[in-house]
Chain A
Amino acid sequence: MKAPTSGHLEVDELATLIAACAAGRRDSLRALYERESGPMIGAAMRIVRRRELAEEVVHDVFVQIWRHAGSFDPALGRGRAWMFTILRNRAISILRNASRELPTEDEALTLAVERNAVTDDAYDRLGDGSALKRCLEGLEPKRRAGVLLAYVEGLSHGEIAARLNVPLGTAKAWIRRSLIQLRECLA
């Protein structure tokens, strides 16, 4: 398990490596891969569920990092957040694109998903220093779950409503109000 870090004061090593990728340094892409491919597969699994799809996502992400490293702007965020943005977009694309249900071979994971254990786990693992954790704590548990299901599992409004067993309009309103509350708390 990887300990969550916020680390806003440390040097953004990943940003440096991404900049080197933009200059055509393959060894820097390899270094990014060494450091982040494991956590990325784990994060992709939470969205696409299946191991081979998660690896497909990570494959695509590293290809995109290589091709678009030049568009990374450290002024707009840290290297890791940039990489995981690409990861979530790609994973959610695959999830939304799959007209069928994505079955998982792993029964334990299916059960964990059904009990919202995946998102609970993500929430529990947020570091104590995380402002996000502190502010999520202030949300009513089901509303908190709505936000987490969107970010961690990549669910749509409709899927969140089904998972929380509430009408679609309620799920949408909960998330909107949660975002307002989070924004005020995080400031």
Chain B
Amino acid sequence: MSGGERNDRVLAGEYVLGLLEGADVDSFERRLAREKPLQDEIAYWRARFSDLDATADAQAPSADLWRRIETSIGAPRAAAVAERPGWVERLWESLGFWRGASFAGAAASLMLAIAVGLLAGRATPQPVIIAVLQTDGALPGAIVEAFGDGSIVVVPLRDIEVPPGKALEVWTLYDKQRGPVSLGLIDRAERARFQTHNLPAREDQLYEITLEPATGSPIGRPTGPVLMKGLASAPRI
């Protein structure tokens, strides 16, 4: 084993222990985004140390804890991933992911490796359907592309003012009986990707963006004004 490999193993161990801080976390995570061996090393340490997770005394939760969780999860939503340069750093902060807490020093995360691993190395696929969402004034407002793997990319075409405490929620309607289904939230008008599971993406399916509370519509259906909407078409390639 080379000194570099040994050093990486130790670094990965320190990362999982939560011992890397500040700039060390940033540089480690930049490498983690690209280097599969490091991702495997993280998974290795996580699995080994996880034996310790079960060694605490279980403590019964307060009676209202579940109700508070239910309130917070509000509308069903998927994770939005901003895809601008540096999104790795912002991923965890987007939509208040680590609300009220700094990222530094506490970023040890297998999840990051997973998210990064899923996005890295993906060939450029063709969308199954594309919808151009139009504003009230019939201006092009955003493009929605749905891919065969269930991912959906939303690209806003104009600035959208999002007041404090609000977010943009993306919806699709594929079945009138079922009603609109939330794809996820965006905290400002920027490119975002959502991962969906077994959600249809067909021609003439409606997509729309509404203004909702920052944690999403509390009732699972649009409550705020429709900012833009449009029907999907299959690209003629």
List the interface of chain A (C-beta within 8 A of B). 1-6, 22-24, 26, 29-30, 33, 37-39, 41-43, 45-46, 51, 54-55, 58-60, 62-64, 66-68, 70-73, 76-78, 80-82, 84-90, 92-97, 121-123, 125-127, 130-133, 147-148, 150-152, 154, 156-157, 175-176, 179-180, 182-183, 186
Contact = CB atoms under 8 A, between A and B. Distances in A.
Given A38-B60, A43-B56, 9 more contacts: A62-B69, A70-B196, A70-B197, A76-B114, A77-B46, A77-B50, A81-B46, A132-B49, A150-B18
Contact of B9 (A39, A78, A131, A179): A179
Contacts of B47: 77-78, 81
B54 A39 contact: yes
DSSP majority for the A interface?
Answer: helix
Contacts of B76: 24
A85 B66 contact: no
A89 B73 contact: no
Nearest to A64: B97
Contact of A3 (B54, B62, B68, B107): B54
A37 to B, nearest CB: 5
B36 to A, nearest CB: 11
Interface in B87-111: 95, 97-111
A39 B55 CA distance: 8
B98 A90 contact: yes
A93 B102 contact: yes
Interface-centre pick from B46, B104, B117 (highest chain A CB count, 10 A): B46
A88 B65 contact: no
A97 B58 contact: no
Contacts, number: 210
A119 to B, nearest CB: 9
19 contacts: A2-B56, A2-B57, A3-B54, A24-B197, A41-B58, A41-B61, A46-B56, A68-B111, A77-B43, A77-B46, A81-B50, A81-B110, A85-B109, A86-B109, A89-B106, A97-B102, A126-B55, A132-B48, A179-B13
Given A73-B114, A93-B101, A122-B55, A156 B17 contact: no
B124 interface: no
A86 B101 CA distance: 13
Given A58-B65, A63-B72, A45 B17 contact: no
B148 to A, nearest CB: 16
A71 B52 contact: no
B52 to A, nearest CB: 6
Contacts of A95: 106
B99 A67 contact: no
A15 to B, nearest CB: 12
B53 interface: yes
B59 interface: yes
Contacts of B111: 68, 71-72, 82, 85-86
Interface in B194-223: 195-198
